[in-house]
Structure 1
Amino acid sequence: MHPESPAIFSIVRIGSLLASLLVALGSGTNYAFSAYGPQLASRLHLSHTRLNVISLSGTVGVYGTAPLMGKLVDARGPRPLMVIAFFSLLVGYSGIRHFYVQGLPDGASGLSNWVFAALMACGFFTGVGGTGGIMSATNATAKSFPHRARATTTGLVFSMFGLSAFIFSTVGHTLFLGDIAGFLLTLAVGTSLPMILGFFFVRSIPLPTSEHDIIYSGEDADDVHTPLFGHQELSSSVESSTATRIHPHSASADYVISSSSSTQSERIQSNASRRDIASTSKKGSTGPVIRGLALAVNGDFWLLFVITIFLTGTGLMYIGNVGLISQALYANAVPTYDEREAAKWQSAQVSTVSISNCLGRIIIGVIADSSHHLMETPRSSYISFVALLFVISQTTAFAVNDVTGLWKASALLGLSYGSLFGLFPAVTIEWFGLPHFSENWGFMSLAPVIGSNILSIAFGRIFDAHSRAPTPEPRSPISHTSSPSESHSMCFEGRACYADSLKLTIAACTCAFALGVYAGIRDWRRQKGGDVDGGARTPIEDERWEEV
């Protein structure tokens, strides 16, 4: 064993993993926006359209900065990203809390454009911080453990990321029920402090030489950097392919080849032979290698891109507005509106989405990988399955008339959203190749920004059209926990407040389902019959991931 390489179960390696888990816990709180968003809108007299714009700024921070964060962690390691994550999360959530506590100036009927822009900037920082944290944690963890433990350890990290919104929502509303300022303080401190711990303890620890892990270097390494994020996130569907020999490390991490040789010379020869395979693949003889302009004119890219727009737009719209949905259903059902009780229902929906989101990432990976390796089923066959889950979730949400039944729609939405990010990165590799996956997935990650902007803003405008200022009518008076000055506008019409937006998402997900069916059938035909659309496309991991 190399003197600088601690044992696999050494204190320093396990300590780095535990620190990574805490960092991941502080990185997924963008999904908790619905736990405080409605109260923020009420306090600052924000229209629901403007509230959705603030939510979208966090989405842009998550997905828009992922490619840059990936390159930075590849080049400089996790520490720079920990610094960025610390300041971004602290400034972002502290800034939102400051504007919430400050409220509106005396006599003002709404926020100035400058303050609104500052709120958008704060939302953007929370997204940037979450991306920096999860990329650092997954990158360091995957590089610190051998292939036999890599899927398990990175899976643990992603589990904490997926459960982040649930944990913070539960803790915040347990300690600060109805106190949004206290909850925002919890987010500011609770998300930024783990980054300090991560700065000192999260790092890539060299593997013992007995593990025989060979890492691409030089020119080949540039071709195989892979962002394991998004939303963020190369899932267990790729990570758990332990029957193969190349395993994705993490966000923008290297692809590692596990060799069975036991001497340094054998390892060098094994590495060289794999370089030959990579070179042959680049020439197009063993699998697809599509990037750049070729990607821009590739029909498969636009097919997957459009499907991703429809599905991620639906998921982010629901996740960002489930708090408003629960408020509308609750207000319509009770004779006296109690903000504390409404906050409990908001927190319950956020927790449900968070837990099922985590489960979806795990389940789809197991299903897709098992069927792919046992029955040679193309992973693209499950695109329609994921889209169908979205359709069912939105149909369920449309059918719910009472807040007590909203958990069903939230659970289905979280499951389908997690499944999307558990499957689509693997499909991207199958369709466009492994060498430039980082670049290709970066382009694919622009789809959530487009989809969420369209559908979330539509939701806000539809909700605004049904909203009104609260009145002391017997049907929906505001209890002592709020006042008309604090509650600028609200919708008391129940499902009618947002039903039209669900019609849009049902239509979008149905289109995605039809496109997914087409993609699956076409890939089955390509696999069985070869040349269907002018050339058979052999999944690249079947060519390059097999042991030589």
Structure 2
Amino acid sequence: VGVYSSGPVWGRIVDTKGPRIPLIGAFFLLLVGYSGIKKMYDDGIGDASTVSALHFAVLVLCGFMTGLAGNAGLAAAANTTAKSFPDSSRATTTGLVFSGFGLSAFWFSTIAHVFFPGDTSAFLLVLALGTAIPMLIGLFTIRPIPLPLPSSGTRQDTTIEGLSRGRGEEPNIHGKQLWLTPDFYLIVTIMAICSGTGIMYINNVGSISQALYAKANPIYDDLEASKWQAAQVSTVSIGNFAGRILIGLISDFTRNRLHLPRAYCLCIVSSLFIISQAFAIGISSVQSLWMASSLLGLAYGSLFGICPTIVIEWFGLAHLSENWGYVSFAPLIGGNLFSLMFGRNLDAHAPTPDTHSMLSTRILRSLLPRDLPSEHQCFDGRECYVGSLKVTLVACVISLGLSVWAGSRDRQKGRGGKMSR
């Protein structure tokens, strides 16, 4: 919530005041947020049997602060990068910046596993320092570099090309006008569907892995199951990192070489989501789950790699961060809707006591020679969750249709590509 809800606020500050204020805020928020979580973890709950309401509220506040800070740093870096590079390479450079956001989970989890195995307190300290210090470094190094003025020949070619594509080449849409633009709702819908699918999978891949492992192993090993869960998180993170870089390269190639609008790249993104969901539906063993996780990570990273560039093409560069902040509400909506659906479906398949016969309940328990972590969670393999994946598969097909429409409409308008002369 801290990440997505703060987007418009940080975006407006970056657009009007530059990156310094968000970077200062990110430094203090990350340091205080993770240090607060570490302090509460070290102190524990004392003699109490449960966490008090006050402690829980402080914990939520600390987590919210880390979300605010992460978005502040990302907005500052992305905005500065977009304004420092020409349109021909803008998708690649912004994709490289966003790729670090995708790799962060794998990076810090690897550090914790290698240097601080089992030491959560030390890991939280690494998070506090490892995320806050880069913001301080960025405070002294990150600033937009003005683009060089084009030569007379280049300027003439640009003018001719701009005239051939119409007068709407460089829009400046923001504020109330943004909310009255159909393009805004189009990209928000595509983002909500695709990001919601990704967030649902990422948040629940542990449960998916656990269900598949329990189905195939009569003797449930909690340590081994945890390893499979961690492997999926790392796989998604690496795919996320790669997707943000690759889609930037593909987007610039589409724009500069094929002379097509970048919006067509949304078709690639939606197709990747469709393939990932199809793989996840068909996989019945935890050993093969990495294929669905890598594809999902690739699709999720590609989505967040291409959409900021499309926001620039559709609404202009002057208010990029603010506009992107509003578009970023889409994951908050889609992620919560699909995650709630997944949770309800998972709960519906959880084992329940047989109210008609206590004897049948005892027989059922005696036939389960495994130490499952919970009696109220489904461990029947893919049957626990496949219904949810079928819903997201259909949703992603709808997203593909919207993406094709967005690309073809942009081509007809001559927006984001060169018209044939």
TM bracket (short chain): 0.7 to 0.9
Displacement of 1:423 in angstroms is: 2.0
Alignment of 1:82-101 (within 5 A): 82-96=23-37
Alignment of 1:367-516 (within 5 A): 367-467=250-350, 474-477=368-371, 490-516=377-403
Q: Does residue 517 of the first structure (1) align with residue 404 of the second (2)?
A: yes
Alignment of 1:215-364 (within 5 A): 256-260=146-150, 288-364=171-247
| Alpha-carbon contact 1:468-1:490 (below 8 Å) kept | yes
Q: Distance in 2 between matches of 1:260 and 1:142?
A: 18
| Alpha-carbon contact 2:38-2:121 (below 8 Å) kept | yes
What amino acid is the match of 1:86? Answer: F
Q: Tell me, what secondary structure is at the counterpart of 1:539?
A: coil
Q: Look up the match of 2:12.
A: 71
Q: How many residues are paired up?
A: 400
Displacement of 1:509 in angstroms is: 0.9
Q: Look up the match of 1:42.
A: none
Displacement of 1:98 in angstroms is: 5.6
Q: Does residue 171 of the first structure (1) align with residue 54 of the second (2)?
A: no
Q: Tell me, what secondary structure is at the counterpart of 1:257?
A: coil
| Alpha-carbon contact 2:94-2:248 (below 8 Å) kept | no
| Alpha-carbon contact 2:218-2:369 (below 8 Å) kept | yes
Among 57, 61, 64, the residue aligned to 2:2:
61
The share of aligned pairs that are identical, in percent, is 50
Deviation per CA, 1:427-456, whole angstroms, max 9, x where unpaired?
A: 233333444444433321211111111112
Q: Distance in 2 between matches of 1:339 and 1:183?
A: 22
- Compared with structure 1, are the counterparts of its residues 107 and 122 closer, same or farther at alpha carbon in structure 2 (3 Å cutoff)? closer
Deviation per CA, 1:96-123, whole angstroms, max 9, x where unpaired?
A: 5566667778785x76665554443333
Q: Tell me, what secondary structure is at the counterpart of 1:375?
A: coil
Displacement of 1:136 in angstroms is: 3.9
Deviates more, 1:308-317 or 1:173-182: 173-182
What amino acid is the match of 1:69? Answer: W
Displacement of 1:403 in angstroms is: 1.4
Q: Distance in 2 between matches of 1:421 and 1:141?
A: 15
Q: Look up the match of 2:356.
A: none
Q: Distance in 2 between matches of 1:189 and 1:416?
A: 30
Specify every segment of 5 or more residues in structure 1 that has no aligned partner in the other structure, as ranges.
Answer: 1-59, 205-248, 479-483, 527-536, 544-548
Displacement of 1:538 in angstroms is: 3.6
| Alpha-carbon contact 2:106-2:238 (below 8 Å) kept | yes
Specify every segment of 5 or more residues in structure 2 that has no aligned partner in the other structure, as ranges.
Answer: 353-364
Deviates more, 1:186-195 or 1:393-402: 186-195
Q: Distance in 1 between matches of 2:348 and 2:80?
A: 48
What amino acid is the match of 1:130? Answer: G
| Alpha-carbon contact 1:476-1:492 (below 8 Å) kept | no
Q: Distance in 2 between matches of 1:411 and 1:375?
A: 28
Displacement of 1:61 in angstroms is: 1.4
Displacement of 1:304 in angstroms is: 1.9
Deviation per CA, 1:278-308, whole angstroms, max 9, x where unpaired?
A: 9x9xx96655444444433333322222111
Q: Look up the match of 2:361.
A: none
Deviates more, 1:392-401 or 1:73-82: 73-82
So what's the TM-score if we normalise by structure 2? 0.79
What amino acid is the match of 2:328? Answer: S
| Alpha-carbon contact 2:11-2:323 (below 8 Å) kept | no
Q: Does residue 190 of the first structure (1) align with residue 130 of the second (2)?
A: yes
Greater per-residue helix proportion = 2
Displacement of 1:362 in angstroms is: 1.9
Q: Distance in 2 between matches of 1:116 and 1:488?
A: 26
Deviation per CA, 1:450-472, whole angstroms, max 9, x where unpaired?
A: 11111122222333344469x89
Q: Distance in 2 between matches of 1:411 and 1:337?
A: 25
Deviation per CA, 1:128-171, whole angstroms, max 9, x where unpaired?
A: 12122333445566778999998887665444333211111222
Q: Distance in 1 between matches of 2:250 and 2:180?
A: 31
So what's the TM-score if we normalise by structure 1? 0.62
| Alpha-carbon contact 1:358-1:418 (below 8 Å) kept | yes
Among 202, 212, 215, the residue aligned to 2:141:
202
Displacement of 1:364 in angstroms is: 1.8
